[in-house]
Structure 1
Amino acid sequence: MSFTRRAANTTTPLPYIFTPSGTFDGNDGSWSSFIINIGDSTGDGSSGQNFKVLISTSGSVTWIPMQASWCDEPDQSTCAEARGVQTYNAKQSLGFQSNASSTWKEIGIYDLHLPLNLEYTPDLKPNASYGTDIVGLGPDSSITPQLPAQLVAEIETEDFFMGSFGLSTQPVTLGGGPIATFLTDFNYSNCTPSLSYGYTAGAQYRNDSKGVLASLILGGFDHSRFTTQGTSISMPGNGNSSLIVGVESIVVAPDPSVDSNQYSMTANNQGFSALIDSTLPYLWLPQAVCDNFAARFQLTYDSTTKLYTVNDTSHAYNLKQNATVSFKIGSTANPSNTFTSIVLPYAAFDLQASFPIYQNATNYFPIRQSPTGLYVLGRTFLQEAYIIVDYERNNFTVAPANFSDPMPNPNVVIIHSTSFVAPEPPKKSSGLPTGAIAGIAVAAVVIILALLLGLFFCWYRPRKRRNKGTQVAEIDTLVAGTEVKNRRISELGSEPGSPPPRFSSAAGFYGDQDNKDRPVPPTIHEIALQELESPPEVLELESPPLSEPAKRTDAQYIDSHVRRREARKDADQGLVGPRIHELPGDDGMFQVQGQHFEPVHSRGPSGESVPTDVSSSPSDPHEEELEAWALGQKTDNNGQNVDGEEH
């Protein structure tokens, strides 16, 4: 799947996860590799040539092996496969076949661009055949991301056994104008959100030698592959995007159960600056530092290969020591409070070199003396370090790699371009949406109706029924005698201005003659029934309940409840009309001041009408006095009223 230059206005892509091949390869150690495909013979992007390559953090060009005359151990096919060359047209290829690619355009033979012009052996000035062709990430496929016209170098030198995939953005000039790197074009084609990546080399010795594969994220990083401790360092600038760090110190710490001491590898505790570069596995270090390593790990210097080898005795010793090597990394070589420690176990240095470096696999310790005073932390270092490189902001971060068994799920984080403008969040509405307002209004109406219905059914209707059921008609009990049955009522009227009756609790008892245990109600003071253009006020006197049921007869029956009479006010004279007072009757004889008398009026259950007037023939003075008071006249026992009128 080929990509073209991105349009001016596009959406932000996600980071691209470059999946490892799943195997560990190489002749100078076991390294987690990646697969790329080069060229196309059919024009549909599905007929490229596949290669396993390693990552070069400082390289700008894609290197691929070509057929080499020296690669014949144990045979050409086996050697080519060991170099990462995959099968092509159903058989093992011996190297890149430029003549089989219809998109190959040859440029010429030029020197390989090596980091810091370091000295390599046996070829001090290795070269390659350059050209441009399609480069795709992963095995050839119609869905593989591919870029056309990418710079490719066919290598034959023994110093670079496998091919490499460069991650630098430094353009290359080969006799003409500058040629952009793959990472630059990949970002420009809208395949990554920015010119950045996150990478760790993986470690074959981790997780009980099952190995942990490398991780490469273009346009972002995988947060699950490193711990939170990290140091951010600025690039040199002025077009130099090298990953230069300060090595403040290197300390070796054997297993405490074997040796509790720690040993400094930096001469006189002096730090130095170094380039992080995964092109090769070696650590190019100051000679004094190399000497300290050689002494501590019992290494032997090989002047032919310029490598430090480890014999069987030394190898057994180092395995027993099981030491760790801590690199204190900062932005400068001087001690500082801002640093991160990258700790490598001895297993990270326990490598083997094979053909063509050695005819037989040989244990070696991957350090080298720098002949130029320029130092490198190679692929070995990146087994335990995770780097995040941001070319747009000219900085990078170094952090300890994270290992667990099993490894955590990826947590890919995007690195946005410096030109990225975050979309504005949706503006908050000043009010509720119309639909919400309508919904609230409808809900409010429904709630109000429900409340009204509830009020009607739960309060108004029951109250109306209760009032209707308990409403007492204003009936003159003197007239509607036929409607008031089984009651005996004594009524005493009063003339205007006459005082109400006053009774004392000492006046006597009422009840049966033989059961005088109920006192007359407490003193009753003036009770006026007045009406001032308002409903009449009704005052009722009710006798206390009997302690036991009264013995009633038809002749003595009288209701214990008081009927109501209405008093009307004379609006013109301000006088109160005749007061009608109703006293409770009983089945017994009334007693007043110790004297007994029969009730003035009585009505039994026969339903006889109550007389319209009170007539009396007092049988004794007490009855006469009571009757005179009922007529509103104050009389004495001789029948004379207070005004001198005869009664």
Structure 2
Amino acid sequence: MKGYTSSALLLGPVLLSQLALAQQAPSGVVQWDIQKRTVPNAPNRLLRRAGSTYPVILQNAQARGGYFATCEMGTPGQKVTLQLDTGSSDVWVPESSASVCNQGAGCDLGSFDPSKSQTYTVVGEGEFDISYVDGSSSKGDYFTDVFKIGGATVTNLTMGLGAKTDIAYGLVGVGYAINEAIVGNSHSLSSQYPNLPVSMVDDGLINTIAYSLWLNDLDSSQGQILFGGIDTKKYKGDLTRIRIYPSSNGYYFSFIVALTELQAISPSGNDTLTSEEFPIPVVLDSGTTLSYLPQDLAEQIWVEVGAEYSSRLELAVIPCSKKTSKGYFSFGFAGPDGPLINVRMDELVLDLTSGSPPKYTSGPNKGQDVCEFGIQNSTAAPYLLGDTFLRSAYVVYDLVNNEIALAETDFNSTESNIVAFASMSATIPSATQAPNQAAVTNRPAATSPAFSASTGFSDGSSNGGEDENASSGMPSALGVAQMSVMGIAMVFAMIGSGVFVLL
């Protein structure tokens, strides 16, 4: 397989925002804050002691899609802003001499000039090769250099340098090392190297290969990734640990968990939504803007909220007025009594463009503004829960014990209480295990809901229903569908479509 597809690539213009300073974190934790953007074989770690803790800031780029953070590379340090991606595993950056950086807006988020770094070393000439579902790609060398993140310094991180690339910004992949591009290209597990989370342990910065993610709400200015620890003031209720599922050959490539329940809840009633695909394998992926569920389940959700599929845009759209609806969806994981995450409509109704929105030209929504709906359809497993879900969840990724912990996020929390993982093999702090995960293999009957919650989702506006011509007045090329579907092929390319089958 030549290259692989990552969920990190999302298209669109972007303007660089003011960067927030990293906050202080306790020993054994590295905190990297994330700010909103309105436009884009390791040493023995068990004997290591972690040093200081370091917070890190992520920027929410609504127009470009995804969450971005600023770091430094090389000696002296060169500032670059990279997209955070839990769905891939390499750190890479465009080379300053790449043609994409020297035309149009250039690499406005920063690029890297290896000739200006005293500590730059090539370790894999021509071996960095990553390609994307839209045909974009980035190729060049693997190199090692100093990497500074959230006030912490990784002394010798392996990264990719995009010398030949049509992508104007790089990314920070924090997935399993086995998911690195070089592993897919070489077809050899032995080619993997210590990526960022592993290197942070090797350098004594954190105690274990784990991190927590707090994206905050859609309209907030910043969120946070916390390497090596959790923040107990960033979620409500209790953290519940659930298992990550491996591929059919027993390897862990992606953060696949079991979605076992979905309810639509509104002032007019509740509906239990069902699917032939339950229990549903879903990947928790910060590099994917929207969420993608099985066709039959997505269609039930659309009926509940009054969304409809636009063949012109190739995605489901919804009246922008539905953003104020009091209805919400409750996602249940890991069987009975597993964690429940409620996702409100104001996190699911997204602007289609950065300018004036298109309007419905016919049907019951005629004259209303058209928005993009945050839950879309897909035809094969594994499915994706991207940023439209993750903003409502506090998520802890434990790559050593192959577990994830979930709790409902505490939106816009101004308090902090950071707790570090005690050791490499320690479980997630303050988290209890979901009690009935053995029941995940149960297949509930797929039935048609009564749609008693549907009226409550209207919030005074007319129902969307099904109208073939409702989107006929929309521009024909908004690029939204292309922006939204990045990441699906990455999952299939790396772990295959039949990896996670619960019988």
**Same-fold status (TM-score > 0.5):** yes
The equivalent residue for 1:166 is 173
1:56 is aligned with what amino acid?
D
Residues 134, 307 of structure 1: alpha-carbon distance in 2 compared, 3 angstrom cutoff: farther
Q: CA deviation at 1:63?
A: 3.5
Secondary structure at 2:213 match in 1: strand
The equivalent residue for 1:201 is 215
1:554-569 alignment to 2 at 5 Å? none
1:410 to 417, 422, 427: 417
Answering whether residue 320 of structure 2 is matched by residue 315 of structure 1, we say: yes
Residues 369, 154 of structure 1: alpha-carbon distance in 2 compared, 3 angstrom cutoff: farther
1:407 is aligned with what amino acid?
T
The separation in 1 between residues aligned to 2:160 and 2:358, in whole angstroms, is: 30
1:462-611 alignment to 2 at 5 Å? none
1:143-154 alignment to 2 at 5 Å? 144-152=152-160, 154=162
Q: CA deviation at 1:165?
A: 1.3
The equivalent residue for 1:363 is 371
The equivalent residue for 1:24 is 60
The equivalent residue for 1:296 is 304
Answering whether residue 202 of structure 2 is matched by residue 188 of structure 1, we say: yes
The equivalent residue for 1:441 is none
1:219-258 alignment to 2 at 5 Å? 219-237=228-246, 238-240=250-252, 242-254=254-266, 256=267
1:55 to 60, 81, 84: 84
**Relative contact order (C-alpha < 8 Å, sep 6+): which is higher?**
2
The separation in 2 between residues aligned to 1:418 and 1:286, in whole angstroms, is: 35
The separation in 1 between residues aligned to 2:310 and 2:52, in whole angstroms, is: 44
Q: CA deviation at 1:53?
A: 2.4
1:36 to 71, 74, 82: 71
What are the superposed Cα offsets for residues 407-429 of structure 1, whole Å, 9 maximum, x if unpaired? 21233333412399xxxxxxxxx
The equivalent residue for 2:338 is 339
Higher strand share: 2
The separation in 2 between residues aligned to 1:9 and 1:294, in whole angstroms, is: 49
Answering whether residue 147 of structure 2 is matched by residue 136 of structure 1, we say: yes
Answering whether residue 394 of structure 2 is matched by residue 394 of structure 1, we say: no
Q: CA deviation at 1:191?
A: 1.5
Q: CA deviation at 1:65?
A: 4.6
Residues 9, 379 of structure 1: alpha-carbon distance in 2 compared, 3 angstrom cutoff: closer
Residues 127, 292 of structure 1: alpha-carbon distance in 2 compared, 3 angstrom cutoff: farther
Equivalent pair of 2:72/2:80 in contact (CA under 8 Å): yes
Secondary structure at 1:53 match in 2: strand
Equivalent pair of 1:328/1:339 in contact (CA under 8 Å): yes
The separation in 1 between residues aligned to 2:233 and 2:324, in whole angstroms, is: 32
Residues 104, 365 of structure 1: alpha-carbon distance in 2 compared, 3 angstrom cutoff: farther
Answering whether residue 84 of structure 2 is matched by residue 76 of structure 1, we say: no
1:315 is aligned with what amino acid?
C
1:327 is aligned with what amino acid?
F
Residues 268, 185 of structure 1: alpha-carbon distance in 2 compared, 3 angstrom cutoff: closer
The separation in 1 between residues aligned to 2:163 and 2:381, in whole angstroms, is: 27
Q: CA deviation at 1:184?
A: 0.9
The separation in 2 between residues aligned to 1:304 and 1:327, in whole angstroms, is: 30
Q: CA deviation at 1:236?
A: 3.1
Q: CA deviation at 1:402?
A: 1.8
Q: CA deviation at 1:168?
A: 1.9
Equivalent pair of 1:55/1:164 in contact (CA under 8 Å): yes
2:86 is aligned with what amino acid?
T
Residues 270, 32 of structure 1: alpha-carbon distance in 2 compared, 3 angstrom cutoff: closer
The separation in 2 between residues aligned to 1:418 and 1:351, in whole angstroms, is: 40
Equivalent pair of 1:307/1:366 in contact (CA under 8 Å): no
Q: CA deviation at 1:217?
A: 1.7
1:272 to 262, 276, 280: 280
The separation in 1 between residues aligned to 2:410 and 2:131, in whole angstroms, is: 32
The equivalent residue for 1:430 is none
The separation in 2 between residues aligned to 1:263 and 1:382, in whole angstroms, is: 22
Q: CA deviation at 1:302?
A: 4.4
Q: CA deviation at 1:155?
A: 8.9
Residues 337, 126 of structure 1: alpha-carbon distance in 2 compared, 3 angstrom cutoff: same
1:348 is aligned with what amino acid?
E
The equivalent residue for 1:13 is 50
The separation in 2 between residues aligned to 1:272 and 1:144, in whole angstroms, is: 38
Q: CA deviation at 1:341?
A: 0.9
The separation in 2 between residues aligned to 1:297 and 1:153, in whole angstroms, is: 44
Aligned-residue sequence identity (percent) comes to 15
Residues 137, 232 of structure 1: alpha-carbon distance in 2 compared, 3 angstrom cutoff: same
Residues 153, 399 of structure 1: alpha-carbon distance in 2 compared, 3 angstrom cutoff: farther
The separation in 1 between residues aligned to 2:352 and 2:162, in whole angstroms, is: 23
Q: CA deviation at 1:285?
A: 1.2
2:144 is aligned with what amino acid?
D
The separation in 1 between residues aligned to 2:47 and 2:300, in whole angstroms, is: 55
Q: CA deviation at 1:169?
A: 3.2
Equivalent pair of 2:231/2:416 in contact (CA under 8 Å): no
The separation in 1 between residues aligned to 2:129 and 2:274, in whole angstroms, is: 34
The equivalent residue for 1:107 is 125
1:35 is aligned with what amino acid?
T
Equivalent pair of 1:128/1:153 in contact (CA under 8 Å): yes
What are the superposed Cα offsets for residues 569-617 of structure 1, whole Å, 9 maximum, x if unpaired? xxxxxxxxxxxxxxxxxxxxxxxxxxxxxxxxxxxxxxxxxxxxxxxxx
1:308 is aligned with what amino acid?
A
Q: Which runs of 5+ in 2 are unaligned?
A: 1-41, 360-368, 428-503
The separation in 2 between residues aligned to 1:71 and 1:304, in whole angstroms, is: 32
What are the superposed Cα offsets for residues 428-452 of structure 1, whole Å, 9 maximum, x if unpaired? xxxxxxxxxxxxxxxxxxxxxxxxx
What are the superposed Cα offsets for residues 66-108 of structure 1, whole Å, 9 maximum, x if unpaired? 6787899xx833x743xxx14xxxxxxxx44455545152632
Equivalent pair of 1:61/1:153 in contact (CA under 8 Å): no
Secondary structure at 1:52 match in 2: strand
Secondary structure at 2:346 match in 1: helix
The equivalent residue for 1:352 is 351
Q: CA deviation at 1:170?
A: 2.1
Q: CA deviation at 1:300?
A: 4.2
1:131 is aligned with what amino acid?
Y
Structure having the higher Rg: 1
Residues 59, 130 of structure 1: alpha-carbon distance in 2 compared, 3 angstrom cutoff: farther
1:250 is aligned with what amino acid?
L
The two structures have a TM-score, normalised by structure 2, of: 0.62
The separation in 1 between residues aligned to 2:337 and 2:156, in whole angstroms, is: 43
2:77 is aligned with what amino acid?
S
Equivalent pair of 2:234/2:410 in contact (CA under 8 Å): yes
Q: Which runs of 5+ in 1 are unaligned?
A: 87-94, 115-119, 206-210, 331-335, 421-647
The equivalent residue for 1:283 is 291
Equivalent pair of 2:51/2:204 in contact (CA under 8 Å): no
Residues 69, 285 of structure 1: alpha-carbon distance in 2 compared, 3 angstrom cutoff: farther
Equivalent pair of 1:231/1:338 in contact (CA under 8 Å): no
The equivalent residue for 2:8 is none
